[in-house]
Structure 1
Amino acid sequence: MKIKRSDLDWAVTQNILNPQQADALWTGLCTRTEPDAKFSVTHVLYYLGALIIIGAMSWFITDAWDRLHSSILLIVSGGYLLGFLLVGNLMWFKSQHRIPAGLFITISICLTPLFIYSLQRALHLWPHQDPGDYHSFFSWVNGGWFAMELVTLISGLIALRLYKFPFMSAPVALVLWFMSMDLTPILFQGEGSIYEQRKWMSLVFGLIMIAGSYMIDRNTKEDVAFWGYLFGCIAFWGGLTLLDGDSELSRFAHFAINVGLIALSLFLDRKVFLVFGVFGVVIYLYHLSSHLFEDSLTFSIALSAQGLLLVYLGILYSKHHEKIERRLTPYVQKWRPRKTMP
Structure 2
Amino acid sequence: MNTDNPDTMPNDEPTRWEVTQAEDVFLPSVRVQIGWRDVEAAVESGAIHPSAAHGLWANWASPGSPLRVVAGVPGGSAVPTAAELALQDAAEGLQAMPAQPTRPALDHGPVFSFTNTLYYFGGMLAIGAMTLFMTLGWELFGAWGVFALAVGYLTGALLVASNLLQKGLRTPAGILATLAVCLVPLAVWAFQSGVGLWPSGAHDSYRDYHRYIDWRWLTLELATLAAAVVLLYRYKLPFMVMPVAVTIWYLSMDVAHMLMQKEGFDWQFTRDVSLVFGLATCAIAMWVDLRTRTALNAEDRQDFAFWLYLFGAVMFWCGLSLRESNSELNKFLYALINVGMVFLGAAIGRRVFTVLGGLGVAGYLGYLAHRVFEDSLLFPFALTLLGLAVVALGIWWQRNEARVHARLASWLPAALRPLAEAASVRSP
Q: TM-score range, shorter-chain basis?
A: 0.7 to 0.9
Instruction: Encode CA deviations 1:98-151: one digit per residue, 9 max, x unaligned.
Output: 322222111100111111111111123246856222111112111111111111
Map of 1:76-155 to 2, 5 A cutoff?
Answer: 76-95=149-168, 97-126=169-198, 129=201, 131-155=203-227
Partner of 2:125: 52
**Secondary structure of 2:222's partner?**
helix
**Secondary structure of 1:54's partner?**
helix
Instruction: Give 1:212 shift.
Output: 0.7
From 225, 228, 240, give the equivalent of 2:305.
Answer: 225
Partner of 1:269: 349
From 315, 319, 340, give the equivalent of 1:260.
Answer: 340
Q: Does the 8 Å CA contact 1:131/1:143 hold for their aligned counterparts?
A: no
Amino acid at match of 2:230: I
Map of 1:29-68 to 2, 5 A cutoff?
Answer: 38-68=111-141
Instruction: Encode CA deviations 1:295-323: one digit per residue, 9 max, x unaligned.
Output: 4577755994897599589869968975x
Partner of 2:63: none
Q: Does the 8 Å CA contact 2:189/2:206 hold for their aligned counterparts?
A: yes
Instruction: Give 1:87 shift.
Output: 2.3
Partners of 2:229 and 2:251 lie apart in 1 by 15
Map of 1:312-327 to 2, 5 A cutoff?
Answer: none
Partners of 2:119 and 2:321 lie apart in 1 by 36
Instruction: Give 1:325 shift.
Output: 7.1
Partner of 1:239: 319
In structure 2, the CA distance between the partners of 1:131 and 1:307, relative to structure 1 (3 Å rule), is same
Partners of 1:234 and 1:77 lie apart in 2 by 31
**Secondary structure of 1:245's partner?**
coil
Instruction: Encode CA deviations 1:221-276: one digit per residue, 9 max, x unaligned.
Output: 21111111111122111111122222222222222211111111101211111221
Instruction: Give 1:198 shift.
Output: 0.3
Amino acid at match of 2:234: L
From 238, 241, 244, give the equivalent of 1:166.
Answer: 238
Instruction: Give 1:93 shift.
Output: 2.5
Amino acid at match of 1:208: A
Q: Does the 8 Å CA contact 2:346/2:405 hold for their aligned counterparts?
A: no
Instruction: Give 1:176 shift.
Output: 0.5
In structure 2, the CA distance between the partners of 1:44 and 1:328, relative to structure 1 (3 Å rule), is closer
Partners of 2:322 and 2:145 lie apart in 1 by 42
- Structure 2 gaps of 5+ residues are 1-103, 293-300, 424-428
In structure 2, the CA distance between the partners of 1:288 and 1:66, relative to structure 1 (3 Å rule), is farther
CA RMSD of aligned residues (A): 3.3
Q: Does the 8 Å CA contact 2:347/2:406 hold for their aligned counterparts?
A: no
Whether 1:211 and 2:283 are equivalent positions in the alignment is yes
Instruction: Encode CA deviations 1:26-52: one digit per residue, 9 max, x unaligned.
Output: xxxxxx989996443322222111111
**Secondary structure of 2:304's partner?**
coil
Partners of 1:262 and 1:328 lie apart in 2 by 11
Q: Does the 8 Å CA contact 2:106/2:302 hold for their aligned counterparts?
A: no
Partner of 1:284: 364
Instruction: Encode CA deviations 1:199-235: one digit per residue, 9 max, x unaligned.
Output: 1100000000011111111211211111111111221
Percent identical pairs in the alignment equals 35
Partners of 2:397 and 2:261 lie apart in 1 by 55
- Structure 1 gaps of 5+ residues are 1-31
Q: Does the 8 Å CA contact 2:369/2:383 hold for their aligned counterparts?
A: no
Amino acid at match of 1:138: H
Q: Does the 8 Å CA contact 2:346/2:408 hold for their aligned counterparts?
A: no
TM-score of the aligned structures, taking structure 2 as reference length: 0.64
Instruction: Give 1:195 shift.
Output: 1.4
In structure 2, the CA distance between the partners of 1:267 and 1:90, relative to structure 1 (3 Å rule), is same
Q: Does the 8 Å CA contact 1:81/1:111 hold for their aligned counterparts?
A: yes
In structure 2, the CA distance between the partners of 1:69 and 1:289, relative to structure 1 (3 Å rule), is same
Instruction: Encode CA deviations 1:18-73: one digit per residue, 9 max, x unaligned.
Output: xxxxxxxxxxxxxx989996443322222111111101111111221134311111
Which one has a bigger Cα radius of gyration?
Answer: 2
Q: Does the 8 Å CA contact 1:333/1:341 hold for their aligned counterparts?
A: no
**Secondary structure of 2:141's partner?**
coil
